[in-house]
C-alpha cells in the first residue's frame, strides 16, 4: 500500500500512524519529494482497512498495490483449479454444460428433462428446490420435497446435480447434492459462506447484482479461508442503468476474472439475460470468450410453458445449442 500525505502534515500524527502500522508487522518506507511525502507499506496489508487510512485528515490518497484477496489470487498456485462435480471436471480446459429446469416440480418432469439433457450432451443437471423470490407472495419452490426429487433423479439418471442453498440450517439436506449454489442475493451472506467453507462439497458462487469482481473474489475468499478449495465463480448478469427493466450479462467478467484468479469461471446466460430468445446467442458468446462452463435453463413444455421461467429454452433448442457449443470448443481454447 502507498500512502500519499498532504502537504505539511503534523509530525506527531504521522508518528502515531507509523507506530500503529508497525504494530501490525508492516515495514514503512518513506519517500520525500519536494512537495509530496509518500509512505510505502511492506508486508501483508490485506488486513488493513484502506478506508480508515483514507479518512485520516493528513492523508491525501491511499492506494493498494497488493490485491486484497490471497487464496483465490492467480499467483497463489501454479495451476488453474479444476473442480470435480460428481465426476465432471470444471476448469479442465473444456467448456462444460449445466442445464435443467428453473424449478423442480415433480419426479416425472425432472427425469424427463434430465434424460433429454443427458442425451443431448449436457454434463450436470441444475434445478431449484429452494427459490429466493423477490416477493413473498410468489412461488417459493418445492423446498424439502424438491430436494428429494433431485436425489431420485440423480440415482436414476446418473447425472451430477447442483441446487441452491438459502440458509445454513438446510445444509444437511444437501448430502446427496454434488455442488451447492450460493445465489446472487447471498453472495455477501458471510455466515453462510463461512459454513460452506467448513465442508467439502464444491460451491458455485454467483456474482451479486452490483458486485465488483474484487468483491466476488473476496466472497470466495471467505469459503477458501475455512478450508474448502472447491469454488466455482459464476457471472449471471449485473443491474445497469442503461438496460432498464432487464439484467445485463457482463461477459467481460470471464476474461477479466481469468487474469485475476485460478478458480474456474462459468456463465449463466438464462438468468443473465432473462429472455429465452437471446439465450442461445449469449451462451455461444460465453463459450467464445473462454467460460469454463455454461448453465442454461431448459423446460419440457413447449406448448404452454406457464410454470417455467421466461428465460428457459426448450429441449430441442437445447440440443441444437449443444451442437454449436461443441463446434465452438474446437476453435476456442479456454
Our finding on whether 2 is near its own copies (CB under 8 A) is yes
Q: What are residue 4's DSSP bridge partners?
A: 38, 61
Length of the chain: 334
**Binder of its own copies out of 88, 285, 295, 315 (CB under 8 A):** 285
- How many of the chain's residues bind its own copies (CB under 8 A)? 107
**Binder of its own copies out of 63, 93, 106, 158 (CB under 8 A):** 63
Restricted to residues 175-234, the positions that interact with its own copies (CB under 8 A) are 185-186, 188-192, 207, 209-213, 215, 218, 221-222, 225
Whether the Cβ atoms of residue 114 and residue 153 lie closer than 8 Å to each other:
yes
Our finding on whether 159 is near its own copies (CB under 8 A) is no
**Binder of its own copies out of 143, 305, 317, 319 (CB under 8 A):** 305
- Span of 77-85, 114-122, 162-170, 198-206 interacting with its own copies by CB under 8 A: 162-170
Q: Which is nearer to its own copies, 8 or 134 (CB)?
A: 134
Restricted to residues 77-136, the positions that interact with its own copies (CB under 8 A) are 132-136
Restricted to residues 228-247, the positions that interact with its own copies (CB under 8 A) are 238-245
Hey, how many other C-beta atoms are within 10 angstroms of the C-beta on 40?
14
Whether the Cβ atoms of residue 270 and residue 296 lie closer than 8 Å to each other:
yes
Residue 143 makes CB contacts below 8 A (sequence gap 6+) with: 129, 130
Pairing of strands 2-5, 37-42: antiparallel
Measuring CA to CA, which residue among 280, 281, 278, 249 is closest to residue 266?
249
The Cα 121–Cα 291 span in angstroms is: 17
CB of 157 to its own copies, least distance (A): 26
Q: Which is nearer to its own copies, 88 or 334 (CB)?
A: 334
**Residue showing cell 456463465:** 267
Our finding on whether 8 is near its own copies (CB under 8 A) is no
Amino acid at each position: 500500500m502507498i500512502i500519499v500525505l498532504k502537504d505539511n502534515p503534523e509530525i506527531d500524527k504521522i508518528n502515531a500512524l507509523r507506530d500503529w502500522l508497525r504494530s501490525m508487522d508492516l515495514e514503512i518506507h518513506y519517500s520525500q519529494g519536494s512537495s509530496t511525502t509518500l509512505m510505502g507499506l511492506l508486508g501483508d496489508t490485506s488486513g488493513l482497512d484502506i478506508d480508515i487510512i483514507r479518512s485520516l485528515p493528513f492523508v491525501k490518497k491511499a492506494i493498494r498495490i497488493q490485491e486484497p484477496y490471497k487464496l483465490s489470487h492467480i499467483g497463489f498456485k501454479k495451476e488453474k483449479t479444476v473442480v470435480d462435480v460428481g465426476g465432471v471436471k470444471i476448469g479442465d480446459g473444456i467448456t462444460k454444460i449445466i442445464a435443467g429446469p428453473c424449478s423442480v416440480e415433480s419426479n416425472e418432469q425432472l427425469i424427463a428433462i434430465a434424460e433429454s439433457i443427458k442425451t443431448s450432451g449436457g454434463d450436470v443437471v441444475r434445478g431449484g428446490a429452494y427459490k429466493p423470490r423477490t416477493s413473498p407472495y410468489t412461488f417459493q419452490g418445492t423446498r424439502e420435497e424438491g430436494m428429494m426429487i433431485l436425489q431420485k433423479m440423480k440415482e436414476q439418471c446418473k447425472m451430477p446435480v447442483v441446487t441452491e442453498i438459502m440458509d445454513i440450517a438446510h445444509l444437511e439436506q444437501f448430502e446427496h447434492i454434488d455442488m451447492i449454489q450460493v445465489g446472487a442475493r447471498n453472495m455477501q451472506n458471510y455466515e453462510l459462506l463461512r459454513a460452506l467453507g467448513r465442508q467439502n462439497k464444491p460451491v458455485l458462487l454467483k456474482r451479486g447484482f452490483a458486485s465488483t469482481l474484487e468483491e466476488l473474489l473476496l466472497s470466495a475468499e471467505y469459503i477458501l479461508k475455512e478450508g474448502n478449495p472447491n469454488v466455482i465463480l459464476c457471472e449471471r448478469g449485473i443491474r445497469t442503468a442503461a438496460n432498464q427493466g432487464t439484467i445485463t450479462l457482463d461477459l467481460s467478467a470471464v476474461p477479466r476474472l481469468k487474469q485475476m484468479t485460478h478458480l474456474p469461471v462459468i456463465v449463466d446466460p438464462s438468468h443473465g439475460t432473462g429472455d429465452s430468445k437471446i439465450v442461445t446467442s449469449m451462451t455461444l458468446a460465453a463459450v467464445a470468450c473462454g467460460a469454463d462452463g455454461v448453465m442454461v435453463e431448459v423446460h419440457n413444455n413447449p406448448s404452454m410453458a406457464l410454470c417455467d421461467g421466461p428465460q428457459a429454452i426448450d429441449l430441442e433448442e437445447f440440443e441444437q445449442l449443444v451442437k454449436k457449443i461443441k463446434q465452438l470448443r474446437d476453435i476456442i481454447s479456454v
